[in-house]
Structure 1
Amino acid sequence: MLTDQVLFITQLVTLWAVLDPISHLPLFMGATTSLTEGERRRAAVIAVLLAFVILAIFGFCGQFLLHAMGISLLSFQIAGGIVLFLFAVSMVLGETKHMPPSVPTGERVMEVAVYPLATPIIAGPGAMLTIVLLMDNNRYSRAEQLVTFSALATVLVGLLAIFLLGGILMRVLGTGLTHLLRRTMGLVLAALAVNLVLSAAATWLKLPEI
């Protein structure tokens, strides 16, 4: 049995690797190009809070919900991979949604914060699957699940801090390099989405790992 400290560090490293805050920064910067700096900061805070709620609820209840609905983790992984792929394609093709000035600031910020920031960028299929496995209701006690819960909160605080530095980095990098990073990360995200689908299919068909 792992001690709480060792479990916390293990969960923290796992969640940091899955959420990967550093590589998410270009995605955040690309998704918020239509917002002002102040709106970008508010969107970051709202998105991280929403992602925390989504992942926490899914961690505690996701296993029961999927089982009750007759949905396997593999099916969820494939569906999530498809949604992630569609978003990645829009990034690669440069289909950024610019909202007209007539749209109220609160609505503009909330819409971007919910999609694509909270999901699928932060609380994507990989993060959801990971949190379900780390908080497996059949394997871990409530105390151990709370340790995972704390590790998730710590990682998301770090993610928020990196997002809040996005405005400074955008000024340093410039518009051209920002667009280049957006398309590059979109391609990487598309590859990740395809890998999620193929990995689930390989597991289902009992094929060698890709």
Structure 2
Amino acid sequence: MIEDLNLFASQLVTLWVVLEPFSHLSLFLSATSHLDPPQRHKVAGLALVFAFLILVVFTLLGRLLLQAMGISILAFQISGGMILFLFAMTLIFVETPHRPVRVDPERGLATLAVYPLATPILAGPGAILAMVLFSDNNRGAPLSHHLVTMGVLALMMTVLFVVFLLGDTIARVIGQSGASLLRRVMGILLAALSVNLVLNAFQKWLGLPEL
């Protein structure tokens, strides 16, 4: 029980940092600025369902795909850690880490939900890397560990859905300064996690003592 709780907490923190709701809120509002509230809520639900399914597929098949391509999980972990670190630097030092998303107002809601919201905004490289690593860490583990991972992902999708539904209100409350502060704090945490990914990969590869 304690082990499952520790696993839940560690995976939740990792996914929270990678899928940081308030950073993604600005992207969501930008992409759906031309929609009325009911349409925006529908797009939010569709985008999160699609993103959840994409991440589940990578959780189940990500390691098989890497093996088919001849890529070791350690190489994937190191490269992913480096990419996450660069992304973390943009969160910390760049005032606007993402360009506003421009969409055609005539496009269908489902199309908008798939691109750019579900991917690459929500189910992006960082989230995919995290789920593949969770899956690799769960190899040979009890079924409860796999259920915890799916539960953490579902919880994060639910949190994002609530944040998106309350998007206009949250944007007014935290303001530009609050959003900037949250983005930088999340960037610092993400940088630490990315460095830890790389160090853990080298520790396993070289047989060094655990950090």
Structure 1 CA distance, aligned partners of 2:189 and 2:141? 34
2:130 paired residue among 126, 131, 140: 126
Shift of 1:86: 2.7
Q: How does 1:159-174 map to 2 (within 5 A)?
A: 159-164=159-164, 165-174=166-175
Q: How does 1:44-123 map to 2 (within 5 A)?
A: 44-92=44-92, 93-94=94-95, 95-99=97-101, 103-105=103-105, 106=107, 110-120=115-125, 123=127
Shift of 1:23: 7.7
Return the TM-score normalized by structure 2: 0.70
CA contact (8 A) 2:52 2:154 kept: no
Shift of 1:178: 1.1
Shift of 1:10: 8.1
Q: Look up the match of 1:201.
A: 202
1:24 paired residue among 13, 20, 23: 20
Question: Which amino acid counterpart does residue 129 of structure 1 have in structure 2?
Answer: L
Structure-2 change in CA distance of 1:132 and 1:117 (3 Å): same
Structure 1 regions of 5+ residues with no counterpart?
none
CA contact (8 A) 1:59 1:131 kept: yes
Per-residue deviation, residues 82-106 of structure 1 (Å, max 9, x unmatched): 2222322232212330245xx4145
% identical equivalent positions: 32
Shift of 1:185: 1.7
Number of equivalenced pairs? 199
Structure 2 regions of 5+ residues with no counterpart?
none
Shift of 1:200: 1.2
Structure 1 CA distance, aligned partners of 2:19 and 2:101? 26
Structure-2 change in CA distance of 1:46 and 1:97 (3 Å): farther
CA contact (8 A) 1:27 1:186 kept: no
Structure-2 change in CA distance of 1:85 and 1:124 (3 Å): farther
**C-alpha RMSD over aligned residues:** 3.7
Shift of 1:27: 2.7
Structure 2 CA distance, aligned partners of 1:203 and 1:61? 23
